[in-house]
Amino acid sequence: MADAKTAIERTEPSKRAEKALSAAFVRTVTAAGKYTDGHGLFLKVDTSGAKRWVQRIMIRGKRTEIGMGSASLVTLAEARETALQNRKLARAGGDPLQSKRTAEALLMFEEASRKVHKNHEPAWRNKKHAAQFISTLETYTFPRIGKLKVSEVTAADVLAVLQPIWLEKPETARRVRQRIGTVMKCAVANGWRQDNPADAIAQALPKQDKTQAHRKALPYDKVSEFLDALKASDAGDTTKLALELVILTASRSGEVRLAEWSEFDLDQAIWTRPAHRMKAKKEHRVPLSPRAVEVLSQARKLGSGEALVFPGTRHGKPLSDMTLSKLTKALGYDVDVHGFRTSFKTWTQERTNTPRDVSEAALAHTVKDKAEAAYARSDFFDKRRTLMERWAIFMKAQDVQVARIG
């Protein structure tokens, strides 16, 4: 704590801190903030835990901040040496920032991509998205243009990357193009080049067939049959209970697989999903039907004290999405786990009088119209509770009577 107190940012960055940072402090500090080392150099720790070096310096009479890289890649000693060289150059009338841009303009496309990936990583929704960004570039882009200077990549180079996969793998190709564009936009913003070549190729590419392939779903009147097969299967109890809860709550697979016991109030039959796990980044309450509560009670009896409701075979790790998908196929149903949300939605449309807003709220869909969203603030919780109880009853009894959820 002594290091943290003495390292907190000061208002006079040009003065040496009473106690400069230590390598141990840089390695262990986790609290968000700015920690001064002196002579304008400070360590910035983000709320995500990411750490980076920044230097505040006067360049030709103007106060400027220069990013000096991640603390995981640049040591304290290296940051101090770079800061010293920057001060010397600025004192001599030079521009360290422009010198940095000039040097970075010499980066190869692969180097620039990895730099952009590293800078964006703390803001990605999850590690999977971060990994996908760099893996698609590694597979399709780096073999062709990875060794070219980022400042010299042309529209023809980008076209050469995309043409072989544009029609064969349209969705992948669009993502590759978008990710190349992200790297190039960052290159433009940093002064490494003047244009984004990924924007200049639209007319050179053939039109893709954008017919969207919907996820395979089971007709709603077959879901009860599926649940019977699920319960009778020899799959692990944890896996069976997780898949049943997915169906009972019309949830996304990840919302169930990553669920923790702290989110549930079984006495009140409420599941409160935290914002960081929701696609819309907004906390969402889920009313639990009596059968859903039973499923969770059974899962608790199987538990070994872990935070996860449905732990996988590896301690501390959740069930994998593939585990649920494989079980569905093993039962003889060629459908996607996500497709059970479609089964639920179709049931609400054809077997109930549920208002669209209520069924959309049950699926945790957001109101896309921003003006409408500003006024539509109800989560229809009580109506959703009635709806989910009807859904559970329907699957148990195949009651074809129209359910009125007014």
pLDDT in tens, 218-258: 999 999 999 999 999 999 999 999 999 999 999 999 899 99
The pLDDT of residue 15 is above 60? no
pLDDT of residue 382: 92
The more confident residue out of 209 and 394 is: 394
pLDDT of residue 67: 78
* Residue ranges per structural domain of the chain: 2-103, 109-204, 220-397
User: 55 with 68: CB under 8 angstroms?
Assistant: yes
Mean pLDDT, rounded, for 328-357: 92
Does residue 128 come out as left (phi exceeding 0), alpha (psi in the -120 to 50 range) or beta?
Answer: alpha
The more confident residue out of 397 and 289 is: 289
Mean pLDDT, rounded, for 35-59: 85
User: 384 with 392: CB under 8 angstroms?
Assistant: no
- Work out the pLDDT band at 213, boundaries 50, 70, 90: low
The pLDDT of residue 162 is above 90? yes
CATH hierarchy code of domain 2-103: 3.30.160.390
For strand 51-59 and strand 62-70, is the pairing parallel, antiparallel, or unpaired? antiparallel
| Residues whose CB is less than 8 angstroms from the CB of residue 359 and which lie 6 or more positions away in sequence, other chains included | 345, 348, 349, 387
Mean pLDDT, rounded, for 114-128: 78
Give the homologous superfamily in CATH for domain 109-204: Tyrosine recombinase, N-terminal domain (1.10.150.130)
Give the homologous superfamily in CATH for domain 220-397: Intergrase catalytic core (1.10.443.10)
Chain centre to alpha carbon of residue 188: 25
pLDDT of residue 314: 82
Q: How many CB atoms lie within 10 A of CB 390?
A: 21
* Angle (CA) 46 124 155, round 5°: 115
What is the percent of the chain where pLDDT is above 90? 40
